[in-house]
Amino acid sequence: MTDAPRADQATLLTYALTTVPNPLTTSPPDVKPGNEDENSYADIDLVISNSGSTPVRCSKIAIVLPVGTLAQDLALTGEGISAYVEPDSGWTVVDVQSDVLLAVPTAETAVFPAAGAEGSSKVRFSLAPQSGESEVTVDGLYLTLRRIMVSDKAGVARIGIEEWATQEGPIPGTPSTTTLDVAKFPFRSGADPAPGIGRALVALTSQGGPPATRVAANAPVRLEWHHLRGDSHELYMDGSRVTDAGIAGGSKYDVPADTVRRDTAFALKTVTPTPDGGFVVRWDHLTVCVTDQTLDALTVSGAFQANGSLTTGSAGETKFNHPVSVLNAKKLTATGELRVDGNASVGGTVGITGKLTADGDVQVNKTFKTGTAGESVFYHNVTVYTPAKLIVGKDMQVNGSVTGTLKVTGAVNAGGDITRGGKGVLAHYDTISMSNTEKGGYLYAPVMDYDGDRGYIFRWKPGGPVSNGYWKIERNRTTAEAAPDLPSAEDTPAATEPPAGG
């Protein structure tokens, strides 16, 4: 940094200054609203000391800044400038107020108007010792003027110095003056481009909050970056550019809630023009991790392990192109419908609390058991292949017909008639009428008896049954099998009519 030279030798004290930044660059013309930090701001550091061999007594020093829109003006406005002095124990300086700068010693006041809309004006800073006078010997003064909005025209601005001091005798009423030159150079965007060096993009949980290194799904995220004059920014996420008007010339963007549903990568593109008419492109990248991610699709090439519950949504379906094993004596429970379009092979127990629907075959290699409640309903044929059996351990209710041979080792309890070939099957205690198949006529028991122990059985030739021609069937054995020595009806030859009374 280079100190500005002193303009003349009128003052008794020596003055030098430097600027931050150095050299100064002008503010760009026609700054548009919404573009952050586009104006150029500067700080001035001024040091004052006695370079001679004779002590100097000083009562006040004034610093005069040229304010306006001309090339010889330093600042666009006097507003917002802050002044500090060291040592502050013996000297005073008054900070800038709105439109007016008051810089006074302890005993007097000076008024410094801000720059007007047209032409140039002055902003004055007065420094005075708190006791009214002070001798400046070895120790010096240090004055800082901060947040000066630099003029938008290149040129040399002269800072005025007014000094009330003497080496001997009383302090004069008229100050000695000098000037310090400050050069302002044109603004050149990207004058020192550094491709690849970005703008320090960072993600925060909120404004002023901690870094958003890991957030919950759908939580809001705040992005901030460093914006320099001339920068134009573009922000990308989820494969597309974020269309927000404040990003191009800004330094922040608030990602709305319900946006970051999974690990999300952000990319900030910064384009800066160069003095030769070109441009420099810089990129910043960061990724925000999400704890409970929501994914549109997930493909796992290796093993997939879920240590907690695995819950799917109500829409869509879960497909497996490989076997699914349920280990450690756990259950595969279906509270809704379980649909099997192909073959279902079950080697163990299947517990289903809802409905089991199979559009294909259901194959059971072992025992198939139902619970005690409810019923099993079949709307199609149930076939039991030989040598297997359909064993009914309790009552069997058949509402339709039984085709083929039915072998029952226990009792058959029929609440209605049992038919064979459309005709009823006789059962224990049934009452029947019997007619002769050859001669016709129904058998009946007449009133007269043959003797005291026996009675007659006659055939009623006219035709229909008579009142004493009904007979009751009684089962006289405890087994359903016929006696071994009893021939069946088909094996008994037809006999001639027995003799009467034989």
Query: For residue 77, what pLDDT is reported?
Result: 86
Query: Regarding predicted confidence, which is higher, 37 or 228?
Result: 228
Q: Is the pLDDT of residue 37 over 50?
A: no
Q: What is the mean pLDDT of the chain?
A: 76
Mean pLDDT of the region 276-304: 85
Query: For residue 189, what pLDDT is reported?
Result: 57
Query: Regarding predicted confidence, which is higher, 362 or 142?
Result: 142
Query: Regarding predicted confidence, which is higher, 412 or 12?
Result: 12
Query: For residue 223, what pLDDT is reported?
Result: 95
User: Within a 10 A sphere around the Cβ of 434, how many other Cβ atoms?
Assistant: 15
Query: For residue 110, what pLDDT is reported?
Result: 23
> How many residues are recorded in the chain?
502
Quote the DSSP letter at residue 27.
P
If you search the block for the tokens 């925000």, which residue do you land on?
288
- CATH code assigned to 202-290: 2.60.40
- CATH code assigned to 14-185: 2.60.40
Q: Is the pLDDT of residue 59 over 60?
A: yes
Distances (CA, A) of 94 to 15, 97, 100, 113, 291: 20, 9, 11, 14, 54
Type of residue numbered 27: S
User: Which range (56-70, 365-379, 411-425, 473-487) has the least confidence?
Assistant: 473-487
Query: For residue 396, what pLDDT is reported?
Result: 72
Gap between the Cα atoms of 62 and 279, Å rounded: 45
Gap between the Cα atoms of 378 and 373, Å rounded: 16
Q: Is the pLDDT of residue 494 over 80?
A: no
Strand bridging mode 56-68 / 155-166: antiparallel
Among 438, 448, 441, 449, which residue's Cα sits nearest to residue 466?
A: 441
Q: Is the pLDDT of residue 502 over 50?
A: no
Where are the CATH 2.60.40 domain residues in the chain?
A: 14-185, 202-290
Gap between the Cα atoms of 77 and 191, Å rounded: 26
User: Which range (28-42, 110-124, 397-411) has the least confidence?
Assistant: 110-124
**Would you say 226 and 205 are in contact if contact means Cβ atoms under 8 Å apart?**
no
pLDDT tens profile 407-435: 777 677 777 777 777 777 777 778 888 88
Among 29, 24, 30, 34, which residue's Cα sits nearest to residue 1?
A: 24
**Per-state percent for the chain, helix, strand, coil, to nearest 5:** 0, 35, 65
Mean pLDDT of the region 366-385: 77
Q: Is the pLDDT of residue 365 over 80?
A: no
Query: For residue 206, what pLDDT is reported?
Result: 92
b/e map 216-233, b = 16+ CB within 10 Å:
eeebebbbbbebebbbbb
Mean pLDDT of the region 305-318: 80
Q: How confident is the model at residue 478 (pLDDT cuts 50, 70, 90)?
A: low
Among 36, 25, 29, 31, which residue's Cα sits nearest to residue 191?
A: 25
Query: For residue 280, what pLDDT is reported?
Result: 82
Q: Is the pLDDT of residue 149 over 80?
A: yes
Q: Is the pLDDT of residue 256 over 90?
A: yes
Query: For residue 275, what pLDDT is reported?
Result: 64
Among 116, 276, 128, 267, which residue's Cα sits nearest to residue 191?
A: 276
Among 177, 238, 222, 226, which residue's Cα sits nearest to residue 199?
A: 226
